[in-house]
Amino acid sequence: MSLSSAGNNPRSANSDVPRFEVFVPAQAGPPPTNGRLGVLGGAYNPITRAHLLLARYSKKLANLDQVFFVLSRVLPNKPRLEVSVEQRLEMMRLGSSGIPYISLGVCSHGLFLDICIALQQIYPQKPEIFFITGRDAAERILTWPYDDPAAALAKMFADFQLLVFERQGKFQLPGDTLVQKYRNRIRTLEIEENLDTISSTVVRKRVSEGRSITELVPVEVAAFIQEHSLYRDFAEE
């Protein structure tokens, strides 16, 4: 899997236009016309086994053709991170190597609506899009203080659906009537493994304490973290 720049897109000169700065297509090739594409966005600081399990279960349960791991350069709900985008992307590459249905990319923007615009530039076959989230992220997305919530939700669910995995509690669809009208575009999925104990935060904390992370991340990612002395000075947010 090699990293390729998407910076030659003719729209990329405008920094306000969401775009993929790096796009690593899946080894299996592009999704078929009108196929089904899962999108799993995040900070990937670092990628964990939970990310890979979510991809596998999403593909199986929602009959997806591919899963796209999206690393956003600017995250709407997180401060600037000490570990660079390039290092996190390399860990994503190492952790997903050999999984033919996973694509990787770095997006200039972080909101799902913006990522969806950027996806249209690199997937001309227009696959049906499913954003994969945990319970907590889904609740934030559905209640985010958009400038115009009604318009934002209408655009959101016209362009994609949500696949919600229950994490650290049961997912409850917000009672707001603006959200309730899109309940058929939101699907809750169950996973056999308990992922509550696997998170990037736990990985960073364990590294700072000198403890093993072998059961939390792929072995290649653990080696990269050790080689580059990442997360040694982690302080919990």
The pLDDT tens digits of the residues spanning 117-162 come to 999 999 998 999 999 998 888 988 898 888 999 999 999 999 999 9
- Would you say residue 200 lies in a domain? no
pTM of the predicted model, to two decimals?
0.89
- Would you say residue 155 lies in a domain? yes
pLDDT averaged over every residue in the chain:
88
How far apart, in Å, are the Cα atoms of 95 and each of 21, 98, 129, 172?
A: 20, 9, 23, 32
> Tens digits of per-residue pLDDT, 185-226?
999 998 878 888 899 999 999 999 999 999 999 999 999 999
CB atoms within 10 A of CB 187: 13
The domain tally of the chain equals: 1
pLDDT at residue 10, rounded to an integer: 32
Which residue(s) pair with 115 in the sheet?
Answer: none
Q: What is the CATH number of the domain that holds 184?
A: 3.40.50.620
Q: How far apart are CA 34 and CA 143, in angstroms?
A: 29
For 190, residues 6+ apart whose C-beta sits below 8 A from its C-beta are 165, 166
- Would you say residue 216 lies in a domain? no
Q: Which residue has the higher pLDDT, 174 or 48?
A: 48
Q: How far apart are CA 125 and CA 127, in angstroms?
A: 6
- Would you say residue 148 lies in a domain? yes
- Would you say residue 214 lies in a domain? no
Q: How far apart are CA 138 and CA 231, in angstroms?
A: 27
- Would you say residue 202 lies in a domain? no
**Helices (H), ranges, the chain:** 49-61, 85-96, 112-122, 135-142, 149-159, 177-180, 200-208, 219-227
Residue 86 belongs to domain spanning = 20-195
- Would you say residue 15 lies in a domain? no
How far apart, in Å, are the Cα atoms of 114 and each of 36, 125, 152?
A: 19, 18, 11
- Would you say residue 3 lies in a domain? no
